[in-house]
Structure 1
Amino acid sequence: MSNQLDMLDNMVSHGLADSARRTPEGIRELIASVRQAPIFPDVTDDDAEMLAREIEERIGVSMGLGSLVVAADDFEPWLENVRAEIEGGSDPWYYWSRYKKLLFKNKLPQDVIYGTDQVTDTILGRLGNPRDNRSWDRKGMVVGHVQSGKTANYTGLVCKAADAGYRLIIVIAGIHNNLRNQTQGRIDEGFIGRDTGRLAQVGTREKPKLIGVAEFDDRFTPVSLTNTIRDFNKSTATSNTSQIASYAVPVVLVIKKNTHTLRNLTEWLREHSANHSSEMVDQPMLLIDDEADNASINVKYGKSEVSRINGQIRELLGLFRRSCYVGYTATPFANIFIDPEQDEAMEEEDLFPRDFIIGLDAPNNYFGPRKVFLDGMPDDEEPYYLRNITDNEDVLPIKHGKDDELVAIPESMIEALRTFLVARTIRDLRGQADQHASMLVNASRFTRMQGLIRNRLQEVLDTIRDSIRINASLGERGLLDPEIAALRKTWADEFHDEWPDWNEIQSRLLQSTGGAKVVEVNSRVNDLDYSAAGDRGLTVIAVGGFSLSRGLTLEGLTVSYFLRNSMMYDTLMQMGRWFGYRGGYEKLCRIWMPPQAIGWYAHIAEATEELHEELRRMQRDRATPLQFGLAVRSHPSSLLVTARNKLGSGEKHVKIGLSNGYVETHKLNNDEEVLESNRNAARNFLIALHEEGYEPSKTKCQGGYLLEDVGVAHIDEFLIRFRNARESVGTTIPPLRDYIGQRAHDELDKWDVFIASVSEKQETSDLLGWPIGPAKRSIGVERLEDGILSISGRRARVASRGVEKIGVAAEDAARAEAEFTASHNLEGSRDVNFPDHIYRRARRKPLLVLFLISVRLPEKVETPGKYVGLLPNEPVVAFGISFPVSSRPDDKVEYVMNTTMLRELFGDEDLDEDAEMEDV
């Protein structure tokens, strides 16, 4: 049946090339017409309707062409001239044509394939011309999104580079074996056409197994010096030198980002060049650095010191007369251009993308940070996909040791498991039984603890499955079993609208979940193997740590359970394995994490989105990669990344620009004396403004009071009096005052002040002398006992969305919104969620927002009585500042931090592969 549906899908999809037929009615008419052929006897009307809906979803998916920032140099465009030669040959674009056919076969939306074609042309056109025999080197970066298709993009680039004449292609694929193996498999499928780790029996002989693109044409097979089982090895490579011969076909390597591997490869290239002339290093070489922010960064700051891997990549590039380095990343805050000691040193960094930076647009069906953390809900409402973990501390605290025992797992983890089993069953009922379904559990950095979690989860799964096996077939009587009843409650709470008939789910539970298994994925063991599945997709719960954090794709990821304490931007975003594409089951996805982590992710999502907007703007303004690098480094949100890169002993001096920045007191000192002092600071501030004629009745507006053209002296006086918590790093008072003071007589002399006040229907407070309705905000319990009020919730923001639009002229706001919708292809869309940063760029005066906050505990906190007594009795004062674009954006102010403070605030970093091995 599946073969018939696949064939029908392929025929209909090709028939839909005529855009006039790409309507709901046209799709169904074409399916009905093609179904009349006798080769589809088993396709039912229900199957045809399901296929029609799937095609509707697929052809509705589009992808923008991204943004391009290039150096102002004398680069000579070459691709169009070479294109004529390629297209005039006997096999035009041979490798790309095969790969494009594979993408169509894999049902990638047509518009996404066409978008990928155009974007990879753009990237290729900025590389060096492989037919130019003069010496050259080029360096660039491609900024994508986590789990959004970067591998597919650079596989397409590899194909096109090979067609254009590149003869040595090296892909550096992360720091773990499982990621390298996975990437090798993708290159095997999309470029080589052979399973490099497996032979097939052909008659009496074993031959390489043909896969992927070889289905369309298996000539001109590239030589691979690595395979899906083994990384680069000198002896294996030497044994293949006869295949390399005249370089008639490209040579490809997929290697781990490891000092041993890089050293071996560099030594082999030197030896090979010495023993067999210099042909290989004379070939044009393309090096693709996947996850370029991880381990490639120069993280040591002596004048001549560089990190080992950074130096080895530079050494490798230095062997070639003609080379290109392209770093792919989704976390640009942490990248190689972030933190040389001096601004002018940035361009001199050997891996700095001095020639080009390209920002990839994610297709509009991408299940990404904006959809998960930012879109569609009021700030205090529980997000659709997210669930809070508040019950772990007694059994699995976030801060635990490698030798701790684990006698039980949190109830929230068990509920996540139930949710996964029900979601798997609904997916099967929807016809997705042949697709993989995965659950991720990332709750410890220690491999020993990961093994214990795996064991406890397996015990719970066995108990649930025994009940399903015995009682699920009993209908209504089966609900007398507590496990079946609990599954039904999970369905009622989570998925009633997605599949309204519980009886169908209950009767299918055994078939859908009987093969479910819990596996461990880390440096010690990797039991995850999707290739082992037969006709039925795997149902797998993957337990791991850092190995699950970078690059590794969990097929059909549906439910995630994340319990970590890292606040480092790159680590957090890369841990987001739950981002990606969820065709046909997006509404079944759920993510469990602590409330504080939800806020961290939302903040990082907004900051990263700002950088993509910055790339678009810089393309329009014809800015250079160096200017983008400076913008990244001076962004307030880069403060933590920069400080992390500088970790060591003693004080760290970090320079940050506040131009076009927003900062707020998302953490407050919970000492009553400090809180009262801050109330007095706000009270005196408002009294002074009242004496200048600002009154509540004259300044009332939607959401509070807007006071225009307030003198900077009042702002400075308030900041002097406000006692900031050191945990609220961005609002450290001395740097703020320094920045304002430098501009107090020109661009920051007059301010807008907004006093936030919620609906008059709610109780108001005269605590500050004005009738103010305090905003209600949840406080993370993790820091309460440390004396910190840490704003939690979906965005970890004091401000509500849209606050930075306040004070922006209507015509300026409309212009910013129009630019945003145009750059995101959202013209005509309803209910566009405009991010605050677009208004900040349009702002002409700075904005100080004053908040009065009534704090509360998050919902569903275990043992709330333990924390209630720690909450302040009166509302507390917080503030935020939105700075407009400065005429001197490169002028920075200095923040002073120390290692102890950073570790107290944000926890220890996750371990690398070697460190994790030590914890076994």
Structure 2
Amino acid sequence: MEIKILHPTSQKIKFKPVIGEKMNDLGLRLKDFLDEDEFDSLVSETAHILSRCTNPQLNQEQDVTHLTVGYVQSGKTLSFTALTALAADNGYRIVIYLAGTKNNLLSQTTKRLTKDLITSSSLNNAYKIFENPTDSKILEIRNKLRLSSKPTVLITLLKHYDHINKLADIFKSQPIKKELDKQGVLIIDDEADQASLNGFSYANSKKKSTSSEWDEETDNKESSTYASILNLRAAIPNHSYVQYTATPQGPLLISIMDLLSPESHTVLTPGKKYTGGKTYFKDFPDLIISIPDNEVFHYKDNPLKFPPKSLKEALQVYILGVALITNFWNKEKFLSMMVHADRQKGVSRLFHTWVSELIDRWTTILNLEDGDIGREDLDKEFKEIYEKEATKFYSIEDNLPSFNEIKLLIADAINDTQINLIISDSDAETEVDWESSSSHILVGADMLNRGFTVENLAVTYMPRYTKGKSNADTIQQRCRFFGYKQKYLKSCRVYLPTDSIIEYVDYVEHEEEMRTWLKNNDSLENVERQLMLAEKLNATRKNILPYNIVQTKMKGWHAMNALYSIEPNKKVVSDFLDANQFELWNPQYGTQDRKHKIYTVSVEKAIDFLTQFKFGNYADTARKQATIRYLQYLSSESEKPITHVHFIQMAYESEYRRRNFNPDTLKIDQLFTGRSTSGSETYPGDREIKLEDSICIQIHKVKLDCNQTNRLVGKVINTIAIYYPLDFATKYTNSEPEYFEPEDDE
């Protein structure tokens, strides 16, 4: 047995985990599936998570919330299985899993943990597992905790308030309280953005913000599952609550005062064979096929009467993939196809009928004798599709067979196809016998979303679109076509409406930027809880977010208000102006007030300036941080990275300009000088002093005026205005804290 002490470097660590026999035992079996780099990454990231959890050996009241972010279908279950083993090595006696909102997800988690940690293990009595325990199991759980082998008790739980409250009652019972005392308990919330967060957050915070008679005890509403999780956490004196999700928008943006708000985070690295959004929408966009607008089904606006041509083509592409991958090359035992048309159950039934009729018709035709005109026509259709789609990616080096070589296998693929309609809880809870056939077609909608594993998914047909703005986390959870598909990626296809393709491209940009930002900032305080989004997307559902969520466009001009940190900002500006050779803006205008200078600096220097320049209000500080983050993104992640930022010294010959300010809001009424078109003194206005090839930052020097007595009256300050060209326009969403500490006031 190898014992290794891990040394995380972050100051956020609670303790240093030790790798012991349980993690080593799991690791021996995982090495059949992971190469050395992947295994090392798993161990490192698992240690990163656990080191942010409470020290289970300290018998004292403590709790922590940690966020773990993976990709959709990328192996989050493997991560929390490894976390379980490492937690067991380090003294955690109980691990609880909030395993999804549906029974099939609960069963899936229980079976996976049993297989990976108990059945396949070389260790005896290392773990004991319970599913949805009630108070009848109190004494049995207590007895397991008393075993001399000190097993770790695993409890899988349906994410439903009734089951969670019953478990809370178990922890409140005297036998468990006495036996466990203040030993550490690990709570793993799988798909933590679903159901766990408070559905009344928006309504509560809006009422609190607008009502003078808010009562914290009587007016604060909690959704039932959220309240039950708080109840469970309150029943366990020493616990860590680890949120797992591929869509962290909700947990990142909920109020920082919320008890489920994370204080630290880990970003998981997918395995080398993972194919996610970047693979489909950036690296291999030909895998995505646009469904024509007139074939996009909508039960109100476009209720199709006949199966669309694109559905038929998608089925043919899929059948050819089965013939090639499973029957000719034997790369996989089976493949599957998903048809996700609309959340209306009647629409899923209609598409199920269409798919069944097409398969039945092809089966009948392929049983006809050679030379029959119907069979010849069908062979011709398949041949055209094969030659169009197969040659997109497969080359001579792939030993791609001719159509005649696989023609006989097409009938085998069709005859061995099972079609499943998944539109109810019972449908979703009935396990698909994947290995019983070489081909499976699943038709459904929301039941095929989050958590439902469609194994070996090759072709997705999803003619579904949202008329308004889509939620970023919702559309991502529909991506069952992500996963480990490198062995047959060239035969994968995703059929989507054009608008949906644009949304997914935008989402991939958002996801990659968000993951990079999270990776580069170990503390969520540094992350500033900001998300950059395309304007077509909302971050998440509105009801879980606080009322004071800020959504701001980074487009056009934004004047800032630096009425704090006056002297430090003067030095920042003075040093910046002295260090750079500003040149005259062309053209120059007549008066001192309208003469400006410009200098272009590197993105790094612009970020350094913004970092040093201070604001005393939350909105401007958030904008500054978002701009820094946006500059980093534009300079490194975009296809045409920017290399510079323009700084413009406004009215450089003037001692200052006079500007009125509001003493209540501490905002300048109007920073910009307006247009002048009279006589010879024409001036386009300050807003036209800009360039369009990159972000521009104007430096203003103003003397503050006000018609009231105020300590700032007569003060000369430096402030800035930022211009975001339309070509770079985006939106950022961030949560405004209930209390804001101004940046280093003078």
- TM-score for both structures, normalised by structure 2: 0.68
Task: Determine helix, strand or coil for the equivalent of 1:880.
Answer: helix
- Asked whether the equivalents of residues 425 and 505 of structure 1 are also in contact (C-alpha less than 8 Å), the reply is yes
1:509 matched residue in structure 2:
410
- 1:241-260 alignment to 2 at 5 Å? 242-246=143-147, 248-260=150-162
Which whole-Å CA distance do the structure 2 matches of 1:99 and 1:548 have between them?
A: 30
Q: Which letter does structure 1 place at the counterpart of 2:315? A: L
- Asked whether the equivalents of residues 225 and 237 of structure 1 are also in contact (C-alpha less than 8 Å), the reply is no
Change (3 A) 1:332 1:448: same
Task: Determine helix, strand or coil for the equivalent of 2:330.
Answer: coil
Which whole-Å CA distance do the structure 2 matches of 1:587 and 1:880 have between them?
A: 34
Task: Determine helix, strand or coil for the equivalent of 2:420.
Answer: strand
Change (3 A) 1:453 1:278: farther
Which whole-Å CA distance do the structure 2 matches of 1:640 and 1:160 have between them?
A: 38
- Out of 253, 260, 279, which is 1:338 matched to? 253
1:805 matched residue in structure 2:
642
- Out of 525, 529, 532, which is 1:626 matched to? 525
1:372 matched residue in structure 2:
280
Change (3 A) 1:882 1:554: same
- Asked whether the equivalents of residues 141 and 357 of structure 1 are also in contact (C-alpha less than 8 Å), the reply is yes
2:17 matched residue in structure 1:
79
Q: Which letter does structure 2 place at the counterpart of 1:518? A: I
Q: RMSD of the alignment, in Å? A: 4.2
The Cα of 1:156 is off from its aligned counterpart by 0.8
2:657 matched residue in structure 1:
none
Task: Determine helix, strand or coil for the equivalent of 1:387.
Answer: strand
- Out of 368, 373, 377, which is 1:482 matched to? 377
- Out of 708, 724, 727, which is 1:880 matched to? 727
Q: Which letter does structure 1 place at the counterpart of 2:459? A: V
Q: Which letter does structure 2 place at the counterpart of 1:319? A: A
- Asked whether the equivalents of residues 521 and 528 of structure 1 are also in contact (C-alpha less than 8 Å), the reply is no
Which whole-Å CA distance do the structure 2 matches of 1:407 and 1:283 have between them?
A: 62
Change (3 A) 1:255 1:431: farther
Task: Determine helix, strand or coil for the equivalent of 2:44.
Answer: helix
Task: Determine helix, strand or coil for the equivalent of 1:427.
Answer: helix
Which whole-Å CA distance do the structure 2 matches of 1:318 and 1:645 have between them?
A: 27
Q: Which letter does structure 1 place at the counterpart of 2:501? A: I
The Cα of 1:388 is off from its aligned counterpart by 0.8
1:223 matched residue in structure 2:
128
Which whole-Å CA distance do the structure 2 matches of 1:561 and 1:161 have between them?
A: 41
Q: Does 1:131 align with 2:57?
A: yes
The Cα of 1:243 is off from its aligned counterpart by 4.4
Which whole-Å CA distance do the structure 2 matches of 1:891 and 1:243 have between them?
A: 44
The Cα of 1:505 is off from its aligned counterpart by 1.3
Which whole-Å CA distance do the structure 2 matches of 1:708 and 1:459 have between them?
A: 69
Which whole-Å CA distance do the structure 1 matches of 2:109 and 2:282 have between them?
A: 31
1:358 matched residue in structure 2:
266
- Out of 24, 27, 30, which is 1:97 matched to? 24
1:441 matched residue in structure 2:
339
Q: Does 1:317 align with 2:262?
A: no
Q: Which letter does structure 2 place at the counterpart of 1:645? A: K
The Cα of 1:414 is off from its aligned counterpart by 1.7
- 1:140-539 alignment to 2 at 5 Å? 140-193=66-119, 213-214=120-121, 217=122, 219-226=124-131, 231-235=132-136, 242-246=143-147, 248-270=150-172, 273-274=173-174, 278-280=178-180, 282-301=182-201, 302=204, 304-335=220-251, 337-340=252-255, 346=256, 348-354=257-263, 356-375=264-283, 383-390=285-292, 393=295, 396-397=297-298, 399=300, 407-429=305-327, 431-432=329-330, 435-470=333-368, 474=370, 480-496=375-391, 498=394, 499-526=400-427, 532-534=433-435, 538-539=438-439
- 1:784-795 alignment to 2 at 5 Å? none
The Cα of 1:445 is off from its aligned counterpart by 0.9
Change (3 A) 1:238 1:645: farther
- Asked whether the equivalents of residues 447 and 524 of structure 1 are also in contact (C-alpha less than 8 Å), the reply is no
1:540 matched residue in structure 2:
440
Instruction: Tell me the alpha carbon deviations over residues 356-402 of structure 1, each in whole angstroms, 9 at most, x when there is no partner.
Output: 211122334321111211236xxxxxx211011125558x326579x
Which whole-Å CA distance do the structure 2 matches of 1:606 and 1:448 have between them?
A: 34
Instruction: Tell me the alpha carbon deviations over residues 401-448 of structure 1, each in whole angstroms, 9 at most, x when there is no partner.
Output: 9xx8x7533221121111111101111245436533111111111233
The Cα of 1:316 is off from its aligned counterpart by 0.7
Which whole-Å CA distance do the structure 1 matches of 2:334 and 2:456 have between them?
A: 5
Q: Which letter does structure 1 place at the counterpart of 2:473? A: D
Q: Which letter does structure 2 place at the counterpart of 1:369? A: G
Instruction: Tell me the alpha carbon deviations over residues 183-236 of structure 1, each in whole angstroms, 9 at most, x when there is no partner.
Output: 22221221232xxxxxxxxxxxxxxxxxxx24xx2511522111xxxx555546
2:593 matched residue in structure 1:
none
Instruction: Tell me the alpha carbon deviations over residues 733-771 of structure 1, each in whole angstroms, 9 at most, x when there is no partner.
Output: xxxxx9999999xx99xxx9xxxxxxxxxxxxxxxxxxx
Task: Determine helix, strand or coil for the equivalent of 2:421.
Answer: strand
- Asked whether the equivalents of residues 639 and 656 of structure 1 are also in contact (C-alpha less than 8 Å), the reply is no
Instruction: Tell me the alpha carbon deviations over residues 761-798 of structure 1, each in whole angstroms, 9 at most, x when there is no partner.
Output: xxxxxxxxxxxxxxxxxxxxxxxxxxxxxxxxxxxx9x
Change (3 A) 1:130 1:588: same
Which whole-Å CA distance do the structure 1 matches of 2:261 and 2:9 have between them?
A: 14
Which whole-Å CA distance do the structure 1 matches of 2:186 and 2:58 have between them?
A: 14
Which whole-Å CA distance do the structure 2 matches of 1:742 and 1:530 have between them?
A: 48
1:602 matched residue in structure 2:
505
- Asked whether the equivalents of residues 175 and 258 of structure 1 are also in contact (C-alpha less than 8 Å), the reply is yes
Task: Determine helix, strand or coil for the equivalent of 2:416.
Answer: coil
Unaligned stretches of 5+ residues in structure 1: 1-67, 87-92, 194-212, 341-345, 377-382, 665-689, 695-706, 711-737, 753-796, 810-844, 851-877, 893-920
State the identity as a percent.
23
Task: Determine helix, strand or coil for the equivalent of 2:427.
Answer: coil
Task: Determine helix, strand or coil for the equivalent of 2:31.
Answer: helix
- Asked whether the equivalents of residues 64 and 240 of structure 2 are also in contact (C-alpha less than 8 Å), the reply is yes
Q: Which letter does structure 1 place at the counterpart of 2:409? A: R
Which whole-Å CA distance do the structure 1 matches of 2:418 and 2:540 have between them?
A: 41
Instruction: Tell me the alpha carbon deviations over residues 467-508 of structure 1, each in whole angstroms, 9 at most, x when there is no partner.
Output: 33445xx4x878843333222222111113532411121122
Change (3 A) 1:434 1:143: closer
- Asked whether the equivalents of residues 453 and 543 of structure 1 are also in contact (C-alpha less than 8 Å), the reply is yes
Q: Which letter does structure 2 place at the counterpart of 1:581? A: Y
- Asked whether the equivalents of residues 95 and 186 of structure 2 are also in contact (C-alpha less than 8 Å), the reply is yes
Task: Determine helix, strand or coil for the equivalent of 2:484.
Answer: coil
- Asked whether the equivalents of residues 72 and 477 of structure 2 are also in contact (C-alpha less than 8 Å), the reply is yes
2:658 matched residue in structure 1:
none
Task: Determine helix, strand or coil for the equivalent of 1:147.
Answer: coil
Which whole-Å CA distance do the structure 2 matches of 1:157 and 1:420 have between them?
A: 38
- Asked whether the equivalents of residues 259 and 308 of structure 1 are also in contact (C-alpha less than 8 Å), the reply is yes
Task: Determine helix, strand or coil for the equivalent of 2:521.
Answer: helix
The Cα of 1:808 is off from its aligned counterpart by 5.7
Unaligned stretches of 5+ residues in structure 2: 1-7, 205-215, 395-399, 558-584, 590-596, 601-617, 647-688, 695-724, 739-746
Q: Which letter does structure 2 place at the counterpart of 1:317? A: R
- Asked whether the equivalents of residues 506 and 533 of structure 2 are also in contact (C-alpha less than 8 Å), the reply is no
Which whole-Å CA distance do the structure 2 matches of 1:530 and 1:846 have between them?
A: 61
Q: Which letter does structure 2 place at the counterpart of 1:309? A: T
The Cα of 1:637 is off from its aligned counterpart by 5.2
- TM-score for both structures, normalised by structure 1: 0.56
Task: Determine helix, strand or coil for the equivalent of 2:298.
Answer: coil
- 1:572-651 alignment to 2 at 5 Å? 572-619=475-522, 624-628=523-527, 630-632=528-530, 635=532, 641=538, 644-646=541-543
